[in-house]
Each structure stands twice: as C-alpha cells, then as structure tokens.
Amino acid sequence: MNRLLSFLFSLFFLTIYGQQEQVIDSLSRKATINTSIENNTVVFSSETPSLIQIAGAPKAFYSYYWEFDDGTFSKEKNPKHIYKKTGNYNVKLWVTNHYDNGKPPTTRPKKIKINTISSDSQDQASMTESFTLQRNREPIPEDSIALIVSYKNTKDYTTNGKVFLFYNEQQYNGNNFDLTDTRTYHNETEVFESDVVYSRAKTDDETLLASNMNEYFKRFIFQDSTELLDLPSTINTSKDIYKDKKIFEFQDMAPNEERHMFFTLKTTPEMLKDTSAIISVRGVYVPDSNFDNHHVKDMEMEIVTSHDPNKMSSNGTFMNYRFIRYKTLKYKIKFQNNGEGPARTIRLETDIPEMLDKSTIEVIDMYPKCEICPKEEVRYSCLDTAFTDTQAIFTFKNIYLPGSEQKNVKEYDSTKGFVKYKIKFAKDFHKKKTKSRTAIIFDKNEPIITNYSTTRFLPGISIGAKTGYNYYPDLEDSKSYFIGATVSPYKSYRWYWQVELVTNLNSYKQSSISEEIITQAQGFQHLRRETISSDFTNVNWEVPVLVRYNVNNYIGLGAGIQANFNLSEKQDQEILLEDFEGVEPNFVINREQSKNEVSNSFTSFKKGLLFEVTGGFARIGPSVGARYVTNFEKDFNYWQFYAIWKF
C-alpha cells in the first residue's frame, strides 16, 4: 500500500511539474505581435511592457523594426504590409527601449497564413544608393542586433553578382559579434573563398586579367559607396582589417530591382566594453561578376549600455602613442528630437580636450544635410561652428527635424541627426586619457547631456640603454662600472613602472685581522696575528623594480626594490702570519706570507631599497641620473651615477 501511495504521489508531482514547465515563459520582459489580416493585407501592431523612465532623461519611448519573412522590412510602429504570394510567414519584431532602465523586450516570432491574394502590391523604390547597410539599434553587450544589407541593380540588364560581409575587427583581441542567423529571400547562396574567381576590369589593351587576392596590401581607409575598380585589393585590405567574412552569390537580378539580406549579430561576452568606442562592419557589393567594379560600405556603430539616442563616441578608444602623430581622431555626436513638434535650431556644445587642436576641426558628415554657414547671417539651412577656450559649438540653423512624438511621423530615423568631425592632435600633449561630452540643446529647451567619450593610450613598451659608475663609500679602492637595459611603458605622463637588468663589473679590496692569540714559550709571552688581505673581482646582476614619477618633461623621481647576486666572484687572498715579542704588536720576531685564490659563482644574494632622481628628457630620449641603494647587508650601500636613453 505504501509503495502504491508513493508511486501515485510521484506521478502526481511529475504531472504538476510538467504542466508548470509548459506554462513558464523564459522571456522575463517581452512584447507580443498582434495582427489584423484581410486576404493578403496585414496590419501589424504590438503590445509592449511599461517603460521604466530614466530619471532626468527625456521621455522614454520605443522604436520598432519588423521583418515580414518575404524579404521586406519596416521601422514603423504599426506597419501595413501586402504580401504578394500565399503561404505561411514567420514575422519577427525587434522592440528597442530608449531612455528606459530595463532590458530591450524580447519578442517571439508570429506565424501567419495568407490564403488568398486580392490586393496588388507594387514594389516601391526605396533605395537612393545602390548599396546600403542598416541596423535596428546600437550594439549592447550580451544582446543581439539585426543587420540589413540592401543592394540594387542600377544596370540596364539582368546581372549575377556577389555580396561580401566583413565583421569582427582585427584591432580588438576578442570578437565583438557572433553571426547567429542569416535570412535570404532571393536564392542568394553562400560561397567560400576557394570557390571565388575574380575577374579584373578591362585594361588599356582591352584584355581581362585573372588576379590572386593575396597580392595586395593597403592601409585601412574608411570607404563610401563610390564605385571602385580593384576588387582583389579591396578584399585583401578588408581581410587585413576584419577577422571574419561571409560571401554570397546572387543570380538573375532585374534592372532597378532591390533586394535585402538579413543577419542577426549577437554580441559576445568578450565584446569591447568601452561605451564610447566605435566599431564597424563592412559590406562589399559586386553588381556584375564579369567585372571587378564594386561598391564598399562601412557601417560604424557605437557600443552602448542603454539605448540613448543622444550619444558621443570616438575612434580613439585605444591608441598607440608612439605613432599618434599619424592619426586623426574622429568624433560622432548623435541626437534625436523626442518632442511633439519639429526642431528648428539644434546647438551642440562639445568639450575639446587640451591635447587636441581646435583649429584643425573639419566636419566630415552631418544630418540634417546642409551647408557650412558663411560668416554673414543667412536664411537657408546651414551648420555653424564656433569655439570657446574649451569647447566647439556646432549649431544647426534654419532646419526642420521632426519630433518622435509629432503627428504623422512614422519613420523614427527621420527624427535623428548627427555631426561627425575629425580633429588633429596639438603640437605638445601628454600621454593621458581624456574625456569629453556634449550638451545638446533643441531650440530653447533645457540641455541634454551626453555620455563621456573617452580616449586612452595603450601602454606601449619603451626599451632603454643604461650605463654608468657605482661608488661604494664603505669599500676600499672600489671600482665599479655597469651596463644595462630598462623596460617601461612608452612615454608615460606621470606615474609608471620600470624594470631593469644591469650587469656590473666590480673590484675592491678588503683587509681584516682574522685572529690574534697570545702564546707562551720559554717563559716569554708572544702575540701571534693573522691578517688576510683580499682583492675581489666579481660580475654581478642587479634587477631593480621601480615606481617612477615624472615631475615634468625634464625631471623624474623613482623608488623601488632591488635584488643583487654574483654571477662570478674571484678572491685573491694574501695571508700574513706575524709573531710579536710581548703582548703588544711592536717588535716582529717572525713573519710568514702566503697566497690563496678562491672562485665562486651565483653567491652573495643581496636585497635592498633604492631612491633616484633623473634630469634630461624624462619621458623619452637621453637623461642622466643619480641613485642611492641601501642594501640590507653591511658595507654595501652605494651611489649609482648613470646616463640612460629611452627609445
């Protein structure tokens, strides 16, 4: 009976547990898709969770991105879509929260079925360029973004071609993305590099040449979609910049036809965490496989921790200070009008760090697109640039930027704008990180303050050569010369570490009375004394580890610890044995002298503290210094005077 009750109880528990498992939803915050279907016309809407307003931020809101599973998409809140064919479709929705403290809601795809076709759907030309890259939102650590690759046949004949996608930049140790899903709708097929054959465009003699992709190497330059000719060079340059790639071939693309490919990129745990950094992906579009004519599009993205449309970012996240003279910094300030009406004037007050030269600012892109303002007042749309001691002020004048809450505004991207500019370094600047942010003022509203955009330098390595003389005040007839090498961060600003390896050639003398005894013979007392005089010659290694501080460009201070041990030591001994009459060392009655040689290696380990000061070029280049080393062993404190050159 007990066994039966136990069995029934277990069965009941498993049944209840199984039912509970079925109803538990793994999505803690989700949005749901609603549809209204009439034949082949579908109106989509969604139910979203309540927004968690960020204190002090503009009003929180959602933006939307839909994929209709037929090769089309929309960014409207409630799109209306007409399907061309009957069948089953799996519609996807990405909802992005702005000025909201919660995570972006997750949406389960919804299956819909189209049984009849009653409404005609005419393709609307939407592309103003032949090749574009878009995303639904900025990447956020441990989340996903949707990437849309769009291409258009601008030829007057049907074409077959290729599309390349490059991602995960080589300059970062970890991968920023995993490509978790690819969605194609026009029979695009993935191919691998070994299957790809490149045709060169016609040369001057009208011949076609084959080319090996591994022949080319070029410095990385951000590209636009201008038509280029040297496809192998572009591919090889892209491979040098990015770790991963995908290649797709397409067939039978009609004149003026537009196509879209969709990718899901999931950010990785090792993704770069700097939220002011700019990362990128690259697309390459070959409209006709018979020629190497192609288009390149780079899409820059800013890493975020929350989806704030007002943001400042830079490509100077990690820079090599040794080669900084050859680098131009790029900054991007993004903003969005979240009002109920259009903005006519937008003012961006952005900090300029000391190490940058304000006079070299050059605006390289902007939205809304307009001209740079002339000196005199004008009534047309333009961008004005002014300066204070610490800021650059960009002002959009006489523009029309719709508000996200404005009636009849369906496309949220139209409410966004940006200024992208480049700037050079000043003539004299130090190796220290900087941060800057922007105050964004829409018309006469209160300023919106962006995040801090930070720039920092890689430590770099500086190798130094060092030589000099050691002075041992407590040793007799001491002579000590040394040569060594130092390792430290390259051209540090204030505090930094330094490790050295120094080889010393030392010689000194040491005399000691090792023993005095009184003997008695024939009724007389005698004093016997043994004196040992040693000449030491040794080679020893020193390994100092310091913390240093540059007071300015010319004076540096340091302190640290040091280990010292002999590689080899040679000791030439002279032993003098003397007998004196009486108990005082006066009259010598006998003297005996002998010599001895002792050699050792890896002996006499010493430890100590050191303090030093240097003068000259403290950060890089030549300088001289004085160091005092106090050893824990007696009589081995010494001064070190040296010259050093850091490279």
Domain locations in the chain as residue ranges: 21-122, 123-308, 317-455, 462-511+537-572+599-646
User: Do residues 333 and 431 make contact, with C-beta atoms less than 8 angstroms apart?
Assistant: no
Q: Is 26 buried (19+), middle (13-18) or exposed (0-12) by CB count in 10 A?
A: exposed
User: Do residues 227 and 286 make contact, with C-beta atoms less than 8 angstroms apart?
Assistant: no
C-alpha distances in Å from residue 392, one per residue of 350, 351, 361, 395 = 5, 7, 9, 10
Q: What is the pLDDT of residue 202?
A: 39
Radius of gyration for the alpha carbons in the chain, expressed in angstroms and rounded: 38
Listed residue (440, 405, 396, 454) closest to 308, CA to CA: 440
Q: Same CATH topology for 123-308 and 462-511+537-572+599-646?
A: no
Express as a percent the part of the chain with pLDDT over 90: 53
Residue 240, pLDDT above cutoff 60:
yes
Q: What tens digit of pLDDT does each residue of 21-57 get?
A: 333 334 468 899 999 999 999 999 999 999 888 777 7
Q: Is 21-122 CATH 2.40.50.140?
A: no
* pLDDT confidence band for 340 (50 / 70 / 90): confident
The predicted model scores a pTM of 0.65
Q: What tens digit of pLDDT does each residue of 493-523 get?
A: 999 999 999 999 988 887 766 667 777 666 6
Residue 221, pLDDT above cutoff 50:
no
For 317-455, give the CATH class: mainly beta
43-52, 271-280, 425-434: segment of lowest average pLDDT: 271-280
* pLDDT confidence band for 68 (50 / 70 / 90): very high
* pLDDT confidence band for 276 (50 / 70 / 90): low
Task: Give dist(CA 67, CA 509) in Å, integer.
Answer: 88
User: Do residues 407 and 399 make contact, with C-beta atoms less than 8 angstroms apart?
Assistant: no
Secondary element (H or E) of residue 522: none
Report the chain's mean pLDDT, rounded to a whole number.
85
CATH ID of 462-511+537-572+599-646, from 3.20.20.450, 3.40.50.1010, 3.30.300.250, 2.40.160.20: 2.40.160.20
Other residues' Cβ atoms within 10 Å of the Cβ of residue 504: 19
Calculate the dihedral angle through the C-alpha atoms of 305, 307, 310, 312, rounding to the nearest 10 degrees: 30
Helices (H), 179-322: 231-241
Residue 317, pLDDT above cutoff 90:
no
Secondary element (H or E) of residue 198: none
Report the pLDDT averaged over residues 308-323.
Answer: 85
Q: What tens digit of pLDDT does each residue of 560-609 get?
A: 999 988 888 888 888 888 777 777 777 777 788 888 887 777 777 888 99
Q: What tens digit of pLDDT does each residue of 380-416 get?
A: 999 999 999 999 999 999 999 998 888 877 676 788 8
Q: What is the pLDDT of residue 522?
A: 65
Q: What is the pLDDT of residue 149?
A: 97
Residue 481, pLDDT above cutoff 80:
yes
Task: Give dist(CA 394, CA 388) in Å, integer.
Answer: 12
Q: What is the pLDDT of residue 575?
A: 83
Higher pLDDT, 333 or 99: 333
Q: What is the pLDDT of residue 198?
A: 53
Please give the CATH number for the structural domain made up of 123-308: 2.60.40.1510
Residue 203, pLDDT above cutoff 70:
no
Q: What is the pLDDT of residue 373?
A: 94
Secondary element (H or E) of residue 425: none
Residue 19, pLDDT above cutoff 50:
no
Q: What is the pLDDT of residue 285?
A: 97
Residue 216, pLDDT above cutoff 90:
no
* pLDDT confidence band for 1 (50 / 70 / 90): very low
Report the pLDDT averaged over residues 349-356.
Answer: 93
User: Do residues 177 and 143 make contact, with C-beta atoms less than 8 angstroms apart?
Assistant: no
Q: DSSP 3-state assignment of 414?
A: helix
Q: Which residue has the tokens 């580890």?
A: 545
Task: Give dist(CA 554, CA 550) in Å, integer.
Answer: 8
Task: Give dist(CA 472, CA 504) in Å, integer.
Answer: 13
Q: What is the pLDDT of residue 526?
A: 76
Task: Give dist(CA 502, CA 467) in Å, integer.
Answer: 9
Q: Is 513 buried (19+), middle (13-18) or exposed (0-12) by CB count in 10 A?
A: exposed
At a CB cut-off of 8 Å and minimum separation 6, what does 214 contact? 236
Torsion region of 296: left, alpha or beta (phi above 0 gives left; psi -120 to 50 gives alpha):
beta
* pLDDT confidence band for 274 (50 / 70 / 90): low
